Every structure is written in structure tokens, then in C-alpha cells.
Chains A and B, each alone.
Chain A
């Protein structure tokens, strides 16, 4: 079945899909006309600001906001006491947006004000008196797990956790099959190493921002930058005790998210301030607030053991992964554990993961959450084994590649996948055999991501003049408006320019999952194609009605209804525009819909090759050359696909080299700004070369796989392998900042 579909997809000749039309949001974004979260305005709007804890861990004894409330120009003050007892599924979310009994990290919100100006709001914050009982804190994952560590929450540990850990260890997961020790016994060489990665932030350009307006009738509107306004609506309604239908949320243009905007921070607070003040309230985070109190990813500590025969067959792979996800349960250790060995066909494999809390901001998703750190550890050990056995690291990966029919390390058996194809393409790429100079090293690594589908709604309206309007419910974070227009145009047989796609508000469509899991081009694309097919069926029926023939006797070809054959009758084709023009006389407006829980998102693999040069005297690392090879299933708009490949690689390079959350002894974040939280700048990077492979996903009509996340999975390991080769010493601690690299070289060379 899958193979038939695949063959059908491979045969299809696309007209629009696979081309590179101009992006619909390009001019607005280049000219500054695009409206981002902070651009929302409303008459009578107030400024909302948050008072944040300066302590990493403290009991909130008392909050006295009376002086702030009495300040002229202050229209509302909100603390946790204003919120109703939340339903269990949003209890942690609320506690993160507004602290209850304890402040759990530096930057945790403890109160908020709404005032007539930013200056008054700032003054009001200074008048709020919070009495804290400062508690011992812990920010390191290994320290947080130790018995005797300061415990954030009592009684949250579940039954999966064995004895001997602190109460900060929330749960334990395990995946795999086979017999690890038996596998290791068959190996010619076993390498065992420990790795650490620092917490990193998504680093989106646009800080969180929203405008909330709640009327005395209980109806509310919210404008915000988010990856999922349906999630915002559902979460805020639950927190505020509202009916979902009373809250309408509109998503702004979004200046990056990368997973970090898949939850709420300001929105419930802004709604509560607006409710109390009776006026619209706008809130915008500063960059410092974004870094201190939004959702960076987990920091990790990982042990890996892998055994290999001298001809490169992996006999067993074993890993223990410990992820701290900030102050609340939910680190992405499960996905890290599932993805760690996913590219390989292994007889014996096991991963054990621990979800740990610590006094840091609650983590949010970050592009393939959990997977880059796991891949860093596993791919580093595979690299070391291959080199120590005198084998080509890509030959080793080809030898062990998971293929169609492989039982994956996390359970399911794979359908058609592209792991081996990316290895082989990397081996054949000229980059792999290019010469290297002194102090230079080359690294390679592979990455996997699951991809996702989920609840999706699309409405496609055929307008009177033959243009088409598509409404989807997923904020366009990676070019989805262009991709949806292209898939609608492809299916309808009309030019791309005739279709415009918009992101509808929560009142206009049914439930849509968040823009995450690399799901949109796959799931919304699938729904768009189905909505177009439904509209085509309606248009064929209208033509049949006009011609007075059976609906079954009409086919849709090249953007027009035609009689199916000579027996159906002799009528000239009716184009979409011609059918649309007379729609009112043939039954009314024409539209297509699709409401679906999309299944069949195909997993995706990437292999990255990178060359680095290390300055042995300073430990500075330069990225000389970088190539991304990834399976896209089918690249709908190749420019965007290449952009996703490049963006993921660059974020991974930053994670590998310089990005890190640095906490002081006092538990406070030392680098809450882009000066000392170092994302790569353009001059740090070469042009990232890309190779798009297309191994069609049998679960999508055009073969599409999500591409947004896989590209951040290999770079941590690829860069580490390259730097280790250039430096002559294995680096296992991210980021590989110059002081660490310099110290490692000095230690190795004596």
C-alpha cells in the first residue's frame, strides 16, 4: 500500500510545487509594514509590566501592592491571589506565569501592574513590596538529582523513579530492545563517555508581546505573537475560568519562535489586568525578560556506551540521559531518549531518561526538543569509535543505517525513510573529500526527528472572480502561507498568484494544533489539498448541472471542468473562473473544507558535514565550510526548505560553540542579553550549503515530510567532531567556547 502510494507520488509531474515564487509576506516585512506582536494598539490602551523575583528560590511570605495601587495612573495590580484555582492541566502554566507560594527561578513573575504609561508602570513596580524567605537553590542537573539537593516541589516524583534520588527527579523513561551486555561482549571496542550541554535559548528576534481586551460582558479579545493562537485561547480560557468561545485570539506576524512560542507567559496576566482595569492592556517583554523568564531548552548530562566490531558494526548502544527542564516537570528527555539511536538499525539498544526540575525558567520547546543533545552524545561516540578503528565515519553509518523495515530504537518499525540516502549523498558530496589545512578538522553527524500531524482545519473559498482564499489556523513561521497557496494552486490547476492564504483567528476555524513538530507543511498542506479537492468536486457538480449531465461524467483537468469523455457529451471546458462567476445561479458560493487529525507524518533524517579551524593559542573556532544533506520528502518551496536547513544548522552551531545560560553562585542569570548570550552573527558563518533529498513520505498526497526541526539535530555533534579533529582532543562539554577549547588543548599537549 505504502509502496503504491509512493510510486504514484514519484510519478506525479508538479507544475507549482517545487518552484520558487516570491513570498507573500516579503514586501511587508522588508518595508516594516508587517504587524508584529508589539504593533497592536487599541483605544485607551494601558501598559502592563511584570515584577519579577530577584531570587532563584524563595517563599513568597507577603506581597503588599497597596502603594502601587494608590499611585496616580495605575489602573490595576495583579498577583496570584487574583486568579481562580486552576484546572490541573494548566496549574503549572499558571504558576509559571504568576508565582504562587514560591518564586522558583530568577525572573519568575510575582506581580503585575497596568498603568497609563510605561514610566508610571515602572514606578509602580518599585512600590510593590514583596517579602521573600530566600531558600537554597540548585540550577545544575546533576546536583539537582542528588539526595539532599534543595527540592522545588514536594511529592511530584512519580512511581517510575527508583530510590536514591532527590525529589527533583520527576520521572524516568526507558526505551530499547535486545541485551546490552551481550551486545557489548561481541564488540571489538567499547567507548564510554560522559557529555554535558548548556541550556540555550531559541533566540527569536521578536520578544513576547500581546494586547488583551476584556469587556464587562465577559467577552475578550487577545492579539499576540504565538506559534499557536488556539493553544493560547484554550490555555487562557482555562486559567481565567472562561468559556473558550468567549475568547477570540488573533495571531500577529511572528518574528521567530523555534518552539519558544508554543506556550503562554504574558497572555493570562494581560487578560487579568484588562479584566480588573476595564481597559485594553498591552504587554511587551524586554530582551532581558525574554532570556530570564521565557522558555529556554534543557541543560543536560548524558552518559553513552557503544560497542563496535572492527569492521564497523554497532553491537550495542546504551545511554543515560538527564535533562533539567527548569522549575516544572516536562523536560524533553523522553524525545531525547527516543531519538538518540533512531538513525541506526541496532540489535541491542537502550536509553534511560530522567526528567529533572531545577531553579531555572520552565523550558519550552526548542526545535526538535531534546534530540540535539542526545545526538551530540551518541554521534560523538560513534565518531570516536570509527576513527579509533581506522574506519570512515560515513561508512560506519552506512553499515548501521536504519532502513525500511528496521525496528527503530524507540519501538515502531520504519516505512520508507531517508537515513541511508543522506549518508550516501554525504559520502558522494565533494565536501567529504576536499583537502584540509593545518589546525583544521572535519566532522560529520546524523540527526533524526519524528515530525508530527495533529488537529488541523482549512477552509478554501472560491471567489467570484476566480481567485481563491485559503484560511488556515497556524501562524506562518516558516513560509506556510506560500506553501499552502502553492499546494492549493497545484491541486486546483491555477497559477500561484491567484491564491492568497491567511491565518484566521480562533473564531473562524475549528481547533488547530500549534505550529510545531514540523507539522504545518505536512498537516495543513494535506488539509489544503483535501479542501481543494472538495471544492473541485463542487465545481464539477456545478458544471454538470449547467451541462445537464451526471456529476460523475465531469472531470477536473488543468484548472477546468471537462466532460469525462465523448460519451459524456460535447461541451467546452469551464474554467474555475467561469464556474465561480455563475456560482450564485448554480447553488451559491463555492468552498472546500477539511477538518482532520492528520496522521502519517513521515520521520526525517539529515547528515551534516562541517570543517572547522581551531586557533590552538586562543581556542577560537572558525567554521570554514558547512553542508546540510536532508530528506524533505517533497520540497514544496525549495527556498524555504533550504532556509530551514540553514537556520537549523546555524542555531546548532551557536549551541555548539558559544550559546549558554550562565548562572552565578546566587542562582541569578549572568547573561540576560544578546551581548553575552552569544548567537552567531553573519560574519561568523560561511554560506551553509544544502542538498535536498526527496524520498516521498507515503503519508502525504505529494510526499511531503516536515523539515523544520531535523536540521538542528546533527550540528552539535558535527561541530564537536570537527573541533575535536582540529584540536586533537575530544571535546565533550558544550558550548565549546574558547576558554574550554584552549584549556583542553593545553591539557592534551602538556
Chain B
């Protein structure tokens, strides 16, 4: 196995593009190193992107925030700007692993690991985040929900990697929230995850919403029908019931060691309603 730590995006792209066998990008390494040490993967090349300029930076851009692919969750959690704009995203990232893992784990890594149960991804999807992809053809921006295509699979092409995540400027009177269900209180993986972001007008009517579910399908879902249940309402009990029903309906989970189809489907609705209530109270300030 070859380990490379290039100092520029171009070098990293070239290394990844030229790799003959399996090549893996190393950011925080909290998924990669575990799989490596357990023998589940035997990569030919590992490209550590943390030494590339900008990868460890959080930069304000057009009122939003650009977060480098090497920024760990712990730094995100200490960033007042990001926390103020998208508390749900920061809370979701803060749920990943343990305190020690938080010092390494990144949003970009969580996204590219492409687990349907990734905690930060539904929150990013609800926030309307985009990923900036560097590759042999230059850079392109892609909606976060379009990166994972299935468990462990992404839409990234050979030689490409995610260089940063962009969280847009939230509209006035907006709020977001992420909740997950786990059997324990921490150190666990989502049985169901739900991110909700919504915006109110001055009269308190919901004018925009995005709702996303994790761990209930082969990839994280953006549930348009659930968002539509909120838009045009005061996010009252009737709207929340419709949101809950739409989320349960959108689920196509599997029965596995972490939960049954019936349980996941039911809990998706419960969490969506609870997350929406938090997002609503945040939108109201």
C-alpha cells in the first residue's frame, strides 16, 4: 500500500486519476482506517488530503460557509458562525462517534463513506448543502443528495474527490434540526435519522422546507412530499401529522439487526414531527 500526502489539489487529482488499483481518499480516516485495519479493504493507494491548502479551513462565502474537506466535527462545533446559521447540521456532525472521533471525523468523509445511516448527511441535505468536487476536468458543484448512490457507492468519477462542503446563507426566519433514533444515548449508528429545515414568512406561514431521511432506504432521501406538507401552513398539528405520514410513506427500509421495517417506518414519522418542531422554534427565534 502506498501512502501519499500531496500539498495541492492538482497533485491529489493526478495521484487518484493515475492509480492502477483501488485508491482511497483519507480525510479524518475514522471510517477508512477501521476498514483498513480490519482487513475489509486492501487499497493500493491512500491519498491524505489534509495537507492541501484550504482543506482545514472554514470560510465565509456569499453569506454562507465553505467547509474544507479536512475540517473535523469538533472544529465545526466550536465555530460560532456555522453554529448560528445551521445548528442542525452542527448537531448532526456532533453525533458522529465519540469525543475522540470528533477530533478527526469530517462532513466530506461522512458524505463520501456513503452510508445510508450517516448522521450529517440528512442534515446537510435539508440545509441545501452542495459539495465542491475536484477532478481531472476541474471543479464542479453538486447537491449533497446526489453524491451517494447506494451503500458505499458515490457518483464521484475516477480521480475526483470532495474538496469542500458549502452551506448556503439561511433565509431570514429559518431554522433547521436533525434527530436520530439510536437504542443507546451515544456511540451508536442511526436506526432512523431525520433532518428538517424550514423558513417562515413574517406572518409565521412556512414558505420553504426541506425534509431528509437517513437509514430508511439505500441512500439518504430528500422527501419532497414531506416538505410540501409544511409549506403554506403554520406548521400546526395537522401539518405535522401530514409530514409524519409523508415521511413514513417515503421509507423503503430493510429488516436488519438494527431495526425492523415496521419500526423504522413508524419512527421516521415520529422523528420528522419532533425535528420539525425544533426547526420551527428555531425559525421563530
Residues of A within 8 A of B (CB): 122, 286, 288, 617-620, 657-658, 662, 670-671, 675-676, 678, 680-681, 683-684, 737-739, 742-743, 746
> Within 8 Å of chain A (Cβ to Cβ): is B100?
no
Contact of A739 among B38, B187, B188, B259 (CB under 8 A): B259
User: Cβ of B184 and Cβ of A680 under 8 Å apart?
Assistant: yes
> Within 8 Å of chain A (Cβ to Cβ): is B134?
no
Given contacts A662-B257, A683-B184, 18 further A-B contacts (CB under 8 A): A617-B270, A620-B183, A670-B257, A671-B257, A675-B189, A676-B189, A676-B258, A678-B188, A681-B184, A681-B186, A683-B186, A737-B183, A738-B259, A739-B259, A739-B262, A742-B266, A743-B263, A746-B266
> Within 8 Å of chain A (Cβ to Cβ): is B39?
yes
User: Cβ of A739 and Cβ of B186 under 8 Å apart?
Assistant: no
Instruction: List the B side residues contacting A743 at CB < 8 Å.
Output: 260, 262-263
Instruction: List the A side residues contacting B270 at CB < 8 Å.
Output: 617-618
- Can you pick out 12 interface pairs between chain A and chain B where the beta carbons lie within 8 Å of each other? A286-B38, A617-B267, A619-B263, A620-B181, A675-B189, A676-B258, A678-B183, A681-B186, A683-B185, A684-B184, A737-B183, A739-B262
Known: A617-B270, A675-B189. A739 touches B184 (CB 8 A): no
Instruction: List the B side residues contacting A739 at CB < 8 Å.
Output: 259-260, 262-263
CB-based nearest A residue for B186: A683
CB-based nearest B residue for A663: B257
Nearest Cβ on chain B to A212's Cβ, whole angstroms: 24
Nearest Cβ on chain B to A522's Cβ, whole angstroms: 36
Nearest Cβ on chain A to B77's Cβ, whole angstroms: 17
Instruction: List the A side residues contacting B38 at CB < 8 Å.
Output: 286, 288
Instruction: List the B side residues contacting A675 at CB < 8 Å.
Output: 188-189
Residues of B within 8 A of A (CB): 38-39, 181, 183-189, 191, 256-260, 262-263, 266-267, 270
User: Cβ of B186 and Cβ of A618 under 8 Å apart?
Assistant: no
User: Cβ of A684 and Cβ of B185 under 8 Å apart?
Assistant: yes
Instruction: List the A side residues contacting B185 at CB < 8 Å.
Output: 681, 683-684
- Most chain A beta-carbon neighbours within 10 Å: one of B183, B191, B257, B267: B183
Known: A618-B267, A743-B262. A678 touches B257 (CB 8 A): no
Instruction: List the B side residues contacting A738 at CB < 8 Å.
Output: 181, 183, 191, 259, 263
Q: What is the predominant secondary structure among interface residues of chain A facing chain B? A: loop
CA separation between A662 and B260, bound complex, in Å? 13
CA separation between A675 and B188, bound complex, in Å? 6
Known: A681-B186, A738-B181. A122 touches B39 (CB 8 A): yes
Nearest Cβ on chain B to A512's Cβ, whole angstroms: 37
CB-based nearest A residue for B266: A742
Instruction: List the B side residues contacting A684 at CB < 8 Å.
Output: 184-185
CB-based nearest B residue for A125: B39
CA separation between A671 and B259, bound complex, in Å? 13
Nearest Cβ on chain B to A168's Cβ, whole angstroms: 25
Instruction: List the B side residues contacting A657 at CB < 8 Å.
Output: 183
Nearest Cβ on chain A to B98's Cβ, whole angstroms: 9
Instruction: List the B side residues contacting A122 at CB < 8 Å.
Output: 39
CA separation between A658 and B189, bound complex, in Å? 14
CA separation between A619 and B270, bound complex, in Å? 11
CB-based nearest B residue for A683: B185
CA separation between A574 and B189, bound complex, in Å? 66
User: Cβ of A681 and Cβ of B263 under 8 Å apart?
Assistant: no
CA separation between A743 and B257, bound complex, in Å? 16
CA separation between A683 and B95, bound complex, in Å? 13
Instruction: List the B side residues contacting A671 at CB < 8 Å.
Output: 257
CA separation between A671 and B256, bound complex, in Å? 10
Nearest Cβ on chain A to B273's Cβ, whole angstroms: 9
CA separation between A204 and B256, bound complex, in Å? 25
Nearest Cβ on chain A to B22's Cβ, whole angstroms: 17
CB-based nearest A residue for B270: A617
CA separation between A662 and B267, bound complex, in Å? 22
CA separation between A93 and B169, bound complex, in Å? 65
Instruction: List the A side residues contacting B257 at CB < 8 Å.
Output: 662, 670-671, 676
Instruction: List the B side residues contacting A620 at CB < 8 Å.
Output: 181, 183
User: Cβ of B263 and Cβ of A742 under 8 Å apart?
Assistant: yes
CA separation between A286 and B39, bound complex, in Å? 11
Nearest Cβ on chain A to B179's Cβ, whole angstroms: 10
CA separation between A683 and B186, bound complex, in Å? 7
CB-based nearest A residue for B267: A618
User: 9 nearest interchain CB pairs?
Assistant: A739-B263, A683-B185, A670-B257, A617-B270, A662-B257, A658-B183, A681-B187, A684-B185, A671-B257
CA separation between A743 and B191, bound complex, in Å? 16
User: Cβ of B189 and Cβ of A618 under 8 Å apart?
Assistant: no
CA separation between A737 and B38, bound complex, in Å? 28
CB-based nearest B residue for A660: B257
Nearest Cβ on chain B to A32's Cβ, whole angstroms: 16
Known: A618-B267, A739-B259, A739-B260. A678 touches B181 (CB 8 A): no
Nearest Cβ on chain B to A381's Cβ, whole angstroms: 27
Nearest Cβ on chain A to B152's Cβ, whole angstroms: 16
CA separation between A620 and B256, bound complex, in Å? 18
Instruction: List the B side residues contacting A746 at CB < 8 Å.
Output: 266
Instruction: List the A side residues contacting B191 at CB < 8 Å.
Output: 738
CA separation between A683 and B208, bound complex, in Å? 36
Instruction: List the B side residues contacting A286 at CB < 8 Å.
Output: 38
CB-based nearest B residue for A617: B270
Instruction: List the B side residues contacting A680 at CB < 8 Å.
Output: 184
Instruction: List the A side residues contacting B186 at CB < 8 Å.
Output: 681, 683
Nearest Cβ on chain B to A172's Cβ, whole angstroms: 33
Nearest Cβ on chain A to B89's Cβ, whole angstroms: 22
CA separation between A678 and B39, bound complex, in Å? 23
CB-based nearest B residue for A615: B270
Instruction: List the A side residues contacting B189 at CB < 8 Å.
Output: 675-676
Nearest Cβ on chain A to B91's Cβ, whole angstroms: 16
CA separation between A617 and B256, bound complex, in Å? 20
CB-based nearest A residue for B260: A739
CA separation between A351 and B38, bound complex, in Å? 45
CA separation between A608 and B259, bound complex, in Å? 30
Nearest Cβ on chain A to B26's Cβ, whole angstroms: 20
Instruction: List the A side residues contacting B184 at CB < 8 Å.
Output: 658, 678, 680-681, 683-684
CA separation between A676 and B39, bound complex, in Å? 19
CA separation between A676 and B270, bound complex, in Å? 23
Nearest Cβ on chain B to A616's Cβ, whole angstroms: 10
CB-based nearest A residue for B274: A617
Instruction: List the B side residues contacting A678 at CB < 8 Å.
Output: 183-184, 188
Nearest Cβ on chain B to A89's Cβ, whole angstroms: 37
CA separation between A670 and B258, bound complex, in Å? 10
CA separation between A286 and B257, bound complex, in Å? 21
CA separation between A738 and B187, bound complex, in Å? 17
Nearest Cβ on chain B to A127's Cβ, whole angstroms: 15
Instruction: List the A side residues contacting B183 at CB < 8 Å.
Output: 620, 657-658, 678, 737-738
CA separation between A122 and B187, bound complex, in Å? 30
Nearest Cβ on chain A to B56's Cβ, whole angstroms: 28
Instruction: List the A side residues contacting B256 at CB < 8 Å.
Output: 670
CA separation between A493 and B198, bound complex, in Å? 74
CA separation between A658 and B257, bound complex, in Å? 11
CA separation between A681 and B187, bound complex, in Å? 8
- Most chain A beta-carbon neighbours within 10 Å: one of B186, B187, B262: B187
Nearest Cβ on chain A to B225's Cβ, whole angstroms: 21
CA separation between A743 and B262, bound complex, in Å? 9
CA separation between A617 and B269, bound complex, in Å? 10
Instruction: List the B side residues contacting A742 at CB < 8 Å.
Output: 263, 266-267
Nearest Cβ on chain A to B210's Cβ, whole angstroms: 23
Instruction: List the A side residues contacting B259 at CB < 8 Å.
Output: 738-739
CA separation between A675 and B256, bound complex, in Å? 14
Instruction: List the B side residues contacting A618 at CB < 8 Å.
Output: 181, 267, 270
